[in-house]
Amino acid sequence: MARLPKVAPIGIPQHVVQRGNNRQVCFCSDEDFTAYAGWLRECAAQYQVQVHGWVFMTNHVHLLLTPLADQAISRMMQALGRLYVRYFNRECRRSGTLWEGRFKSCLVQSEEYLLHCYRYIELNPVRAAMVSNPGEYHWSSYSSNALGVPSSLLTPHPEYLKLGRYPRQRRERYRALFASALDPEFMDKISTLTDKGLALGNDRFKAEIEAQCQRRVTPERVGRPRIEG
């Protein structure tokens, strides 16, 4: 039975996670990270996907993306995955699968949750105890969003641009967002919703997505079915 295409309305941001199969290592060197970033940039341009945020860990990646065409993210991730697996298998003299099946994703409501999602992604190395500050980790978008390091991969989202009129002001206000810790409940929520392919947003946002796409993006209710009579 063919899998249903992912719910991916044009213009709605998505948090995307791609993991190594059985959480195996996918990046062994800076050269691997560089290769992946280069193909991500090329495939995003080819398939019309904007990249707002990212972090490349040793056995998985997080991306914050907005599709500008129908099923653009799925096409981009498929092409990117093939290119990188071919390269990785050749370099490591291995064969077979690398990724844990299809990528995971959730739709993100821009106004209420997008900047939280930026933080969730870029704080990943801190949560993993790899660094004490997100600016110390090279393979994330924090250096561009918070410190102004140029990146041809990055497209600022309108919610990021609303942080200030000038680039310096935006960066200062963006860094200030990281002064407080993320709510553990939010972290659990985005992780669960991403794994299940649902939506992160308020009830109105989710209802609009379901009406537009004719697909459920909210968790099914838990409980016994009602018995009539």
The pLDDT, as a whole number, for residue 202 is 92
CATH class of segment(s) 14-204: alpha beta
**What pTM does this model have?**
0.93
Q: How do the domains of the chain map onto residue ranges?
A: 14-204
Query: pLDDT, tens digit, for every residue of 48-102?
Result: 999 999 999 999 999 999 999 999 999 999 999 999 999 999 998 888 889 988 8
Q: Mean pLDDT of successive 10-residue segments in the chain (229 residues)?
A: 76 96 92 97 98 97 98 96 94 88 94 94 96 96 97 97 97 96 92 94 91 84 49
The pLDDT, as a whole number, for residue 221 is 63
Measured between alpha carbons, how far is 196 from 100 in angstroms, rounded to an integer? 14
Percentage of the chain lying above the pLDDT 70 cut: 95
